[in-house]
Amino acid sequence: MGCMFSHLAAKFAFFPPSPPTYHLTKTPDGKLSAVSSASSSSSTFPSAGDPSLDVKVVKTRRGNKVTAFYLRNPNARLTLLYSHGNAADLGQLFDLFVQLKVNLRVNLMGYDYSGYGASTGKPSEYDTYADIEAAYECLQTDYGVGQEDLILYGQSVGSGPTLHLASKLPRLRGVVLHSGILSGLRVLCHVKFKFCCDIYSV
């Protein structure tokens, strides 16, 4: 019964852009690159050839392959792990990531949830937990980022996985919640109790 409710909640809660706004390709030297799906010329993102951008695919513990963009800032001391809101993918957020990287003087990793953008699988609450864990593991192993130098940023539906990971990392530098998600049913019905089909029930 719980599984049925979870599947139903996911259908109403997650809206990945369809079609995705980008796809992945390989450069002549074998590196991954992101290409805008909206462009008829299939041009890459403005900074895709820049060494300050890495396009990564990481495997989650639930078996999905999640796409992540890592943007370097040579002046950064901290890293921001960005969990985006609903109905968006990395292709739409790339310009924002560049601005945040420069203005906040941070390295930044943004990732797509399972079923979003070029990530495989279907979106669900539990997949978003595995997605952010895989992104964090990539930051640790590939870039040497410790939790003391990490800020988690969750926008809207991204506040769910952000708080999930934050609960496991007691020495985080900080957590930012931007328009944190609240049960849609509780907003409509003006009640304080939880519904069994709510995602990110807190």
Q: Which ranges constitute the DSSP H helices of 43-177?
A: 90-104, 125-143, 159-166
Per-residue pLDDT of 107-146, as tens digits, reads 999 999 999 999 999 999 999 999 999 999 999 999 999 9
More confident residue, 48 or 85: 85
Cβ 65 vs Cβ 122: under 8 Å:
no
* pLDDT for residue 4 is more than 80: no
Q: What percent of the chain has pLDDT over 90?
A: 68
> Domains in the chain, please, with CATH?
51-188 (3.40.50.1820)
Question: Strands, E, within the chain: which ranges?
Answer: 22-26, 32-36, 53-59, 65-71, 78-83, 106-111, 150-155, 174-178
pLDDT one-digit tens code per residue, 158-185: 999 999 999 999 999 999 999 877 655 5
Residue 55: name the closest of 81, 25, 97, 99 by CA. 25
Report CA-CA distances (Å) from 128 to 26, 65, 181: 26, 12, 14
Q: Mean per-residue pLDDT for 67-96? A: 96
Contact partners, residue 42, CB within 8 Å, separation at least 6:
25, 35, 36
Looking at the predicted structure, is the pLDDT value of residue 199 above 70? no
Average pLDDT over the chain reads 85
pLDDT value, residue 60: 98
Residue 192 pLDDT: 60
2: pLDDT strictly greater than 50:
no
pLDDT of residue 179: 85
Half-sphere exposure of 113 (CA within 13 A, CB side): 28
How far is residue 38 CA from its own chain's centroid? 21
The answer, yes or no, to whether residue 202 has pLDDT greater than 80, is no
Task: Provide mean pLDDT across the span 94-111.
Answer: 96
Please answer whether residues 23 and 98 qualify as being in contact, where contact means their C-beta atoms are separated by less than 8 angstroms.
no
- What's the pTM value of the predicted model, to 2 decimals? 0.86
Relative to beta strand 78-83, strand 106-111 is parallel
**pLDDT by residue (tens digit) across 143-165?**
999 999 999 999 999 999 999 99
Please give the Cα distance from 184 to 55 (Å, whole number).
Answer: 34
Contact (Cβ atoms closer than 8 angstroms) between residue 175 and residue 151: yes
The answer to whether the CB of 161 falls within 8 A of the CB of 202 is no
> Containing H/E element for 6?
helix 2-13
pLDDT in tens, 20-46: 999 999 988 888 989 888 654 444 565
